[in-house]
Amino acid sequence: MKPLAVVALLICAASASAAPKTEAVLTTDWRKVATQADKSRLIRWRNALLAAIASATKDGEGQAIAQEGALLVPDAGLEQPAIPAGEYRCRTVKLGRNGIYTKAFSVRAASPCTLVSKSGRMRLATTNGSQRVKGDIFPGNERRQIFLGTMAFGDETRAMDYGRDGARDAAGSLERIGEQRWRLLLPEPKFDSMMDVIEITPVN
């Protein structure tokens, strides 16, 4: 090989190594990511919420449900559901009996959660509590966005990858229900309830 050709190759190699690495942009189409089981679960979200409310009401929790206001109203979702990145508080209401030893209505204390934009998606993670969700938020329609993620328990240090274990997968819809107030509806969780509803409000 001629000396000039060798020099040219070395310059090209150096340029390639010096070039900044670009972050791959992930798909924003939730249908390409969701498992078939979760696609079906998302279709049933409203019926699941109504069934959970009926279960809790039957157990005498009608007043507690009413006190939550728009958080537990089936069609409370407003237009422009997008939520900005930032620091939030996440408070979980577990609704409807799922097993003989579970309550039909229980509330978990609010704990810190974060929303960050990464690789073209918004990512939600709750950081405290015995049950923690982590996953991606995808565009949906004018009233809701789609959440696909997983649940971690107890002292586990990291969540599983979505789609690896159906018992850990969490799928639902993110809706805006007021000024600086959102909810994440997670229908048919595998543990404790018929519906998990996470209220999301900014820290400041």
Residue 21's pLDDT is: 53
Question: In this structure, what are the phi and psi dihedrals at residue 30, rounded to the nearest 5 degrees?
Answer: -65, -25
Helices (H), the chain: 3-18, 36-43, 45-58, 62-67
Among residues 191, 103, 185, the alpha carbon closest in space to that of 200 is found at 185
Residues 144, 172: contact at Cβ < 8 Å?
no
More confident residue, 152 or 144: 144
Output the average pLDDT for the chain: 87
Residue 43's pLDDT is: 95
What pLDDT band is residue 83 in, cutting at 50, 70 and 90?
Answer: very high
Q: Region 16-38: what's the mean pLDDT? A: 76
Take residue 4 and report the two structure tokens written for it.
Answer: 């000039």
pLDDT digits 0-9 by tens, 161-191: 899 988 889 999 999 999 999 999 999 988 8
Residues 187, 41: contact at Cβ < 8 Å?
yes
Is the domain 30-202 a CATH 1.10.1750 member? no
CA distance 57 to 130: 26
Residue 121's pLDDT is: 86
